[in-house]
A and B are shown apart, each in its own frame.
Chain A
């Protein structure tokens, strides 16, 4: 469907103050849309707050009127979700202040929305306060002795930050409709900053005439410009094309553990595995838990690690139980597996709380900590060359399971095989099965 006009004749005239440029710019936009024969049902006009925010109500297209400075975001959401829609943003210089970061981000992404930025150098709706684009030395109701801040150069800023189409014109420029036509037809993000007269505030406060506007346009800060660099892929098109189905499939169906083994636990058991970052502690504990589940146990795991990566401690708190687990925290674990100095330091608080019927297992030559619990040492140097450092956590869990058969060693082998392949599973399984009892010593 094509239109004779995109402006609803029943709603005219526009609501703006006499002499305001907004109506002129909307008329030019209407002309540009007519030249392109846009289907009004495929066009969304997006606005936010300020006088120009009223504009969408004069269009026969779809309309989206949102919060101050956020219009470009709604436009991005619409365009990403429905890339075949023409999405046009009408916003003011006030919105460019509160939502400047959003404009820059939209430009950086190159989402194919088209922004017309109505810049009349002040807040016309609330009483002529200064905005981010108020020229230096200009007087407004909040800069009585002249604006000190340097104005935000929107078109240049967006251009520098990736906008492939950035233009500046005055509202009265004869070629404004040509530039608008080009912008609307552009396959990517476009911005046209239109300099305007605010007859109610900025014009009378500064005796701002057309000659003053021309002086601004002839200066360095607000020059007429048209920068077009059509070499980037439009983002919505790009995003619609990327991705595979694999992660989605895995999330929906990936994790099915069947009960194939029997456990020997009569009561719940809390295990803490405490090692160093990079030692695969968390994933190993998780594989151990899965083996428990495959043996009919319930499991709960939460982890603790610093915000930094590959440094410091890495601890898994694991709860196994024949019945569902309510309690999350662990006060004193039945088993504390200490794999490294980092783990020893972080698990110190538990060592003090542990009792004689609980057990600390030291991997390798860690110093014996002070504790009431029974302490055993696993002499890992016996396995020198057979167990890579990266697999120590998993290997220790295999050895632990052989000594304390909470469930069959085969359950852990299967769990590891499923996640990391049969080769590693068989190797660690063999190490554990062949290890003699003298790999353990009481410490």
Chain B
């Protein structure tokens, strides 16, 4: 058995390469800079391209152009940068661009704390742009999860032709940890579906709303039309209400209809437990330890770790919530993900958010204490 001692940035960059990432553009920003440096170093070889943009808008836009030639592109940033990415995320949604966007959260808003940890972007990345369409957001729950979820992010962005946000945080990206790399089961690598019919290529043509339009790169033997404006199946601008509705329902349903493919949760339910500890991101390992302590004391407690934050894994949540009286959600923000859980709670089910916003991590003891778990 071999181990690695690596931080989240190395895990992410390594997994990106394994997933076939061959294009990176980014702009230096703490705490995402380590990913920037690693990929700027590692990609310009074996056919990979890496470039530092003049700003964040440039970086993500360059990635979008590259992705439409068939590249597997990734860009990484932090709070101020994800704010600037906003308009381009909309373009990637509308144009159906496979793209992985990493947000290494730091204390915000604005410049906030450049080297201070936080998880305050959770609801921002759920609706990161105008237009109101669902977004896939994955949050690694540890270093092994960082490895596998990065591959999952590429797989989803490729197969669903959509931007995927990989939401992590300073603590995870800059802390080195032991990981048994051989034991991490990476998902099988999946690529976008290329158009190969003998007929005419219709760039945004789908049979039913939840279908994914097949891909041809810029430079293919048939003309490829890409656009961020409202368009018909051929990629020409349209104001036709019927076509506009078709397009927007498609953009909605291609995410919602693939909820099971997107979903990534770990359930550790205990029979008879009335308490559910629900965790994501940097608090997930703490909650695992907390549940262990609770059970050692002879008490019952269930645990749910959510890696696919959005779309909210509603079915799995509903089953986890069966028979539960109290749901405890530790977060390094003002209680943001808890907001998304409220609509799923039955009358009488109590929600206890445990929040910390001073830049320091939560502790197992704090979770046990504030969650009244012992």
Contacts and interface: CB of A to CB of B under 8 A. Distances in A.
B139 to A, nearest CB: 16
Contacts of B23: 77, 80-81
A62 B216 CA distance: 11
- 7 A-B pairs with the lowest CB-CB distances in the bound complex, closest first: A77-B65, A243-B44, A73-B61, A74-B65, A326-B289, A81-B66, A326-B285
Main secondary structure of the interface of A (DSSP, over half): mixed
A147 interface: no
B228 interface: yes
Interface size, A (range):
35 or more
B34 to A, nearest CB: 11
19 contacts: A40-B223, A60-B223, A64-B226, A64-B227, A65-B225, A66-B91, A67-B90, A78-B68, A78-B69, A81-B49, A81-B66, A85-B69, A252-B17, A257-B5, A293-B5, A298-B177, A299-B176, A327-B364, A331-B363
A44 B91 CA distance: 18
Interface string A327-339: 1110100000000
Interface residues of B, number: 79
Interface stretch (B156-164, B229-237, B311-319): B229-237
Contacts of B54: 101-102, 105
Contacts of B364: 326-327
A329 B361 contact: yes
A247 interface: yes
Interface stretch (A151-159, A180-188, A300-308, A370-378): A300-308
A143 to B, nearest CB: 27
Given A65-B228, A327-B286, A293 B55 contact: no
Nearest to A302: B175
Contacts of A42: 219
Contact of A41 (B88, B223, B237, B360): B223
Contacts of B3: 256-259, 293
Given A70-B88, A326-B289, A62 B225 contact: yes
B176 A44 contact: no
Nearest to A83: B49
Nearest to A245: B45
Contacts of A265: none
Nearest to A61: B223
Interface stretch (B6-14, B242-250, B253-261, B320-328): B6-14
Contact of A248 (B45, B69, B360): B45
Interface of A: 40-42, 44, 46, 54, 56-57, 60-67, 70, 73-82, 84-85, 101-102, 105, 239-240, 242-248, 250-252, 255-259, 286, 289-290, 293, 297-303, 307, 324-329, 331
A160 B237 CA distance: 37
Contacts of B205: none
Interface stretch (B35-43, B265-273, B347-355): B35-43
B177 A325 contact: yes
